[in-house]
Amino acid sequence: MTSRVISAFAAEEEQRVLSLKPVLAPVHGRYGDHPHQVYDAWPADDPDAPRVILLHGGYWRYDRMHLTPFAAYLAEQGFDVLLPGFRRSGGAGGYPETFDDVARIVDTLPDGRPYVLAGHCSGGHLALWCAARGLLPAGSRWHTRTLPTSVLALAPLTDLAATRDDDLSNGAALQLLGGPEHFAERLPEVDPLTLLRGAGTTGVPTVLLHGAVDEEVPLTQFADYAAVHRDLRTVVLPGTGHYTLIEPGAPGARAVADTLREMAAAFPDRRPEPAHEETAHR
């Protein structure tokens, strides 16, 4: 297969954003015992600030450090931000460990607060998968009725079969699912497009946001997902590529922050009514 050819615009964008210096988070925590089961946090001063949980990209292989500048940027915009790590392909992760970790993240880290689960590229795939966990068979290890409050998928991989067929990132989808001998068997459990077919919706308010000139993920992945998700909201940013969505201060990143504010404004009010005059526990 011939190597992917991208424009000078896309190559410069990728180099510029991925070479940003990582930002050290003010708070670190753990959600499990494995060294990758950790998270960075940028707590907001306002206890009612909207919470965002970010799932990083990198084709399920790379760590979260490239997303720390964007997480810090969102914190500056007034969000309460969590950036978790998880076991990854090519090391301790892949199927099933990556999915075990992401399921644990969304089942434990929100602490009962409403939140937007946002993910970029392969992190967008994982966010869309989390929204679809209620569509899994009741006997699945990942089935749940406790779903994200809402999901923002940023230039996501939505179709693992297409990701394999296009050989994106040198066989990343095959590596995630354990090779060609396991791909067909495991695909229905972890592929957002496959899970959505028939159901037509996850029941989770979902926004798919992407740049009109994204050269990293084929635009057909976005269109094909939108064609089967009947209540999906799609936001397309003209003149925007794949990586400026997570570039602090760039127009794409500002559009992401604006979209997150709109989504947070629709959160249900889950604060309990105080039964006594005591200070409510947070």
- Residue 271 within any structural domain of the chain: no
| Predicted pLDDT at 172 | 98
Here the tokens at position 229 are 């998700």
| Predicted pLDDT at 59 | 98
How many separate helices (H) and strands (E) can be counted in the chain? 10, 8
Please state the domain count of the chain. Answer: 1
Distance CA 36, CA 72 (A): 20
| Predicted pLDDT at 141 | 97
- Residue 226 within any structural domain of the chain: yes
- Residue 272 within any structural domain of the chain: no
The H or E element spanning position 263 is: helix 251-265
Q: What is the pLDDT of residues 245-266, one digit of tens each?
A: 999 999 999 999 999 999 999 9
- Residue 273 within any structural domain of the chain: no
- Residue 282 within any structural domain of the chain: no
**What is the reported pTM?**
0.94
Q: pLDDT under 70 in the chain at which residues?
A: 1-4, 270-282
- Residue 179 within any structural domain of the chain: yes
Cβ(79)–Cβ(51) under 8 Å?
Answer: yes
- Residue 153 within any structural domain of the chain: yes
| Predicted pLDDT at 277 | 38
Distance CA 250, CA 15 (A): 15
Distance CA 121, CA 155 (A): 5
| Residues of the domain holding 168 | 8-265
| Predicted pLDDT at 5 | 82
Cβ(133)–Cβ(148) under 8 Å?
Answer: no
| Predicted pLDDT at 111 | 92
Whether residue 96 is preceded by a cis peptide bond, meaning omega within 30 degrees of 0, is yes
The H or E element spanning position 176 is: helix 172-176
> Which CATH number covers residue 22?
3.40.50.1820
| Predicted pLDDT at 251 | 97
Cβ(120)–Cβ(262) under 8 Å?
Answer: no
- Residue 2 within any structural domain of the chain: no
Q: What is the pLDDT of residues 106-139, one digit of tens each?
A: 999 999 999 999 999 999 999 999 999 999 999 9
| Predicted pLDDT at 275 | 44
| Predicted pLDDT at 121 | 98
Number of neighbouring beta carbons within 10 Å of residue 241: 26
| Predicted pLDDT at 270 | 53
| Predicted pLDDT at 55 | 98
Cβ(107)–Cβ(134) under 8 Å?
Answer: no
